[in-house]
Structure 1
Amino acid sequence: MRINDKLSHCVRRNRSFCFFFALVLLTSSYVVSAQSTPSRVDQLSDEQVQEFYRRAQASGLSESQIEQAAMSQGYTLTDIAKMRKRMTDLRMSSQNGRGQSVTDTSRGRVLPTGLSRRLVDSLPYTTRRDSTKLRVFGASLFENANLSFEPNMRIATPRNYIVGPDDEITIDIAGAASDNFKLKVSPEGTVKVPNLAAIFVSGLTIEQAEQRIISRLRQGGYQGLGVPGSGITANVALTNIRSIRVTLVGEVVRPGTYTISSLGSAFNALYLAGGPNPETGSFRKISIIRGNRVVRTIDLYDFILRADQRDNIRLQDQDVIRVADYGTRVDLTGQVRRPAIFEVLPGETFRTLLGFAGGFADDAYRASITIRRNTDRERKILTVTEAEMATTAPQPGDKIFVGKILERYENRVQVAGAVMRPGDYALEPGLETVRQLVTRAEGLRKDAFVNRANIVRERPDMDRENLSFDLGKLMRGEIADIPLMRQDSLTVLSIRDLREQYYVVIGGAVNKPDTIEYVNNMSVADLIALAGGFQEGAKPNLVEVARRIRQDSAGIRATTLETFRFAVDRNLQLGSVETNAAHDSAAAFRLQPFDIVYVRTSINYEAQRQAFIFGEVMYPGNYAIANRQERISDLIARAGGLRPTAYMPGAQYRRNGRIVGSDLRHIMDDPGVEENMMITDQDTIFIPRRSETVGIEGAVLNPSSVSYKVNYNFDDYISETGGFTDNARQRKAYIIYPNGRKDRSRQFLFFKGRPRVEPGSTIVVPFKPMENTKMSPIERVGILSLIGTLAATAASIIVNLSRQP
């Protein structure tokens, strides 16, 4: 519910003050409610009333608003009147005393009200630059919202702080005499101590003002105040500070007059104005003008690069900050740490400019830099060497680019392949030949192919050439050593690089048939162990190895490989050997690369196979197939035979999930019939009860299921569903029997043959295919018109021919 009284209006105007004041009222209410007296206000002490009044004034509310808030907290009009009278009495007694003595000795310092605040959204669009565009160095300093340069109110008052109107000075007197004064500097620059003449302090430092005030207090009755040994001390502090107005002109983002704290600095004022305009303003020539005289020139680079705040002086009232136009700006890009647009002052060189950018990047080309400079009519290219950078000065509009070093080496040679430490090496004294390079790489590996090595060398025209040599003879000193050149790359081949990858294959009755990397001295038992050992049905005494024929011969061999047969026991021990070629012994037999090992399966080993039978049998379920000759009748007999309700014409036999169309009704009487098939793994037999329905599907008027009637034939069931539709293919109608068999309709001349209907059957009448070639009426008219035209033309030709003599 929305409240329209004055308090709610006040809350909407100043929520923070009202919330604070409500807490004060609640605190006071709690103190009073703890008392058991008729009047809530009478139970408050003078200190509590003064604290209540001080906090209410600090909240910024008027007296009428304070009264409304008090009534909302349960205070009556009588309580409010008593509170007002007590506060008036306390104010009068305080004014009749000596000075402005109060009990509050707090040293809290707050910023003055009405200070200017920066509105980021009001900054011109020119400060929102494209992120891909080169930035002006230093512009981001004043775009950071967390860097406002606001003064810290908790620091001690600077001794050189200049006192001015609206400052508040607090004096604490302690010792033999005790008093407290809060003195506000008047617009005339004076402070008024009770019973003393006005003291002029404006324009003095806080230290000078303190000496003047203490001196005047001694004259006013505080003898020995501040004198050592007198027992009376005085402490003068600046509690509340004033605001000052400064003006920013020139090339700033938002020029104007700003109200800041008297403790504010030049950077604080520049931040409020958005800083120098990045497009036109100078970041290095910012003048602080006081009394028409430049008192300080700020170079922001000193602060950005070295955190030097000597130029960040405290401002005074009516100071003017002027940002000049930039003089010389240059673009520095390429391989430097901080690419940006930099401002250069007279006397600064390219070496100074590189310092602004953080110096060269790690992969910078340092021998020279490239400069694009504007002339009166066009541009020109300058190259400044590293020695000239310290003496050459940039000019306005220079665009400087620092390149990147080349991706090449001045003294590198490489070695790769079958050496102990391949890699890059320095071409230097002591490493100038191939032998020295191989030695530095800690020699050749044992698999090095020493008959040939090659060097890829870069020719003067950047083409490459290949140099081949006998590395073995070179290392033995039989041929001269080969001098190396820069960028040479030596490759030493391995014997493995010059042959196929060696492997052996094992398959058959092992747990993990696989292709395995060949290693020397590998036996058949080793390979079987790597393949996970024998399977349960393996025949260890029949392990066969097939080997390639490597020996070349003049003629053509009749055989294409060699075979070896082994007997291996379950403990992977070799037994006798039988080969079709001479061989020493089984124990000495070792595999060679590309051998294929086969482990055969035992003849009589076979995993259990099972079939499923369910439906109208005595013991439906899963049955293991006892032998290879077991048939359907045998499985039914093992299941206890048929139940009386079994309907064998509808029995279904499935293999691999598909129905095998067969008539099983006679297999129990004559197991020799063809339908009595042999059972295989996962076969399924389903023997249903007799079904009492017949299904009719397809191109009939009312596809449905009807009850079976013994005296009904095929056409009678069609009539039960309303007959054929117009697009029915009557001659193609067929029937599906419950055992999966099918039978179709037949017709010879005028004689129709319909299949027999059995219980549980399904009659299917196919639809005629859609006629996509039938012509539309428009096409027919077009063809008839064409025929008529052709006929008229032909008649006219015949008439003309008949008239000729």
Structure 2
Amino acid sequence: MKKLWVIWLLAMGELLSVDVGHGSMDTITIKGSGTTQEVRYYGESLFEGNFKENRQLRYSADYLVNIGDTVSVKLWGAYEYQSSLTVDSKGNIFIPKVGTIHLLGVRSESIATRVKKSVQGVFNNNVFVYAHLENFQPISVFVAGGVRQPGLYEGLSSDSILQFIDKAGGIENGEGSYREIQLLRANRVVKTVDLYQFLLQGRLTMSQFKNGDVLQVGKLQNSIRVEGEVRRPVIFELPADSVMVDEVMQYVVPKPNVTHFMVTRWQNGYQSVQRYDLTERYRVAIQNGETIHFMSDYLQDNLIVKIEGEHGGLNTMTVQKGANLESVLQQISFTSLSDPQAVQLYRKSIAQKQKQLIQANLKDLEARVLTTGSSTTEEAKIRKEESSLVLDFIKRASEVEPKGQIIINESSDLSQVILEAGDTIYIPKRSQVVVVEGEVSLPNAQTHVEGYTVDDYIESCGSYSPRANQEKVLLVKKNGRVLTYDASNWWRKKSMRVEPGDSILVLGKVDSKNIQITSSVTQILYQIAVGAAVVLRAF
């Protein structure tokens, strides 16, 4: 097991020296630089919303009335009066025939009681009272520390910490802390906020701001990297120098199939990697600057295959490593519309190789275009125009993504086709349609006619377009196999049977006086048509 573990680590990066230790866990010390992976900070998406635009009045029973707040008062009965009154600099409101009523510091839910008591002191019980907080005091708050745009920001005294930080551009990743945010009033700390609690539980205690308050976002002190079998890799801020792995897992939830985790540490220029069972998360501490990598032994022995198209089962299938195509096809529930004879297999590694081949040919073509000389001024002008067209073609061709299809021949032994992780098995529907694409007068899809040849289907599309390369007509069989048909040479024509579900692709001519460029572009067009099932026009 340890040997397999070392091999796995070797595949992860360059290792200059490896020392496998002993004990209840596998310990591997690596000298050299660790692998790098771009990750986001935990909580980074919090300020990608629109907190700063929210200006709604939020009622809170615990809100304390402040100078500048607006209170709505209505009296009826023996005395009628209605007005919106602003709390003055002494904390009072004034009601005619009643006098001043002191409201500064009164809880929002007690406003009506306080006003009613003062009114009844004048009118006894023959006047009815309704009073409530109508609007909050406009204030200005300083936002400083680890934010993108420190400054003075306007708002309401009922606004949340999130709104003011969002107005300051959010927390600066790598500098500001999500876990150490202080509200200062008269140079004294009134409140400390940990936004990770809000992210985990959705709880955020509302703070009543006052004019001149300072919101100080602390400096990032301790952090770790979290990688592997998690929803997404993140940089996680620690509330202290070290915490237990279990606490980290409460925020960064690993995938259900996780069975182990690794902790990577640096000591004296050496990288030490320790592997633990997931049950040990309660006793293992992780410290500032370390990396935790969640993993699954289950995935080392199994792989996931996608099943798409016309079938009656699940869209993914988990099989043992080493499973073959024949055994998986036997487990697929075909429907009455499925076409088992046209099953298609797509592989990511093949798609990557096809892409690399196309890119290599495009680079060669680009170099050839840019280094081709001209003997006259007129020829140079023509070369320049042609180069512009070819470079545009290169740009368009580089954006095409090959499918990575593995052609399944009828005589193949499918028990010898070993599946890989990420393979996609596609089950086509039974079809009576033949699709004609590319350089024909009217590309379309037609019903299959028994006995029709390639020429018959092209003729029914209005024949070839003037740009058609009749030497490169492709008949793509329903299982993905590609046959080349030369329609330009009557003597060398060979009859090809067109079956239901087949496609006919007519490639275009390459209009260039340079034989090498013509040959290169034609080859690339063919590779794209075969690898991506796309007919790309050259220029």
TM-score, structure 2 as length reference: 0.46
Q: Which structure features the higher share of strand residues?
A: 2
Larger radius of gyration: 1
The structure richer in helix per residue is: 2
